[in-house]
């Protein structure tokens, strides 16, 4: 399981369509579908009720979509904090000299 899997899951929940979600994630539809299936296998529960007409999430799937959104929000915060640390050092600098 990785962050990208959460992005796929959230995109699928938002678009409610495999092709549109895949396009939003810049991957092919089979890639997105396969990763969702792999995620289901890894966690041992179905996230979707598969039908040829529409995307329906199971109750567990809906709960995990909400958790994935929270995780992605925290990852975004983490990245923003890290980016803020890599800039030039700024602020006043105090230099002290000791005389003997």
- pLDDT value at residue 35: 97
What b/e string do you get for 49-71 counting C-beta neighbours within 10 Å, with b at 16 or more? eeeeeebebeeebeebbeebeee
**Domains in the chain: boundaries:** 3-83
Q: What is the pLDDT of residues 26-69, one digit of tens each?
A: 999 999 999 999 999 999 999 999 877 789 999 999 999 999 99
Whether 76 has a pLDDT exceeding 90, the answer reads: yes
Instruction: Please give the Cα distance from 71 to 7 (Å, whole number).
Output: 10
Q: What is the pLDDT of residues 58-67, one digit of tens each?
A: 999 999 999 9
The domain 3-83 is placed in CATH, from the list 1.10.1740.10, 1.10.10.10, 3.40.50.300, 2.40.50.140, at 1.10.10.10
């Amino acid at each position: 399981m990785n962050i990208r899997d959460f992005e796929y899951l959230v995109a699928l929940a938002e678009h409610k369509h495999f092709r549109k979600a895949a396009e939003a994630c810049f991957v092919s539809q089979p890639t997105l579908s396969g990763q969702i299936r792999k995620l289901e296998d890894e966690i041992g529960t179905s996230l979707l009720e598969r039908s040829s007409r529409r995307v329906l999430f199971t109750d567990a799937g809906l709960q995990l979509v909400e958790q994935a959104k929270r995780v992605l929000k925290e990852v975004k915060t983490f990245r923003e904090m890290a980016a803020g640390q890599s800039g030039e050092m700024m602020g006043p600098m105090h230099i002290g000299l000791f005389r003997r």
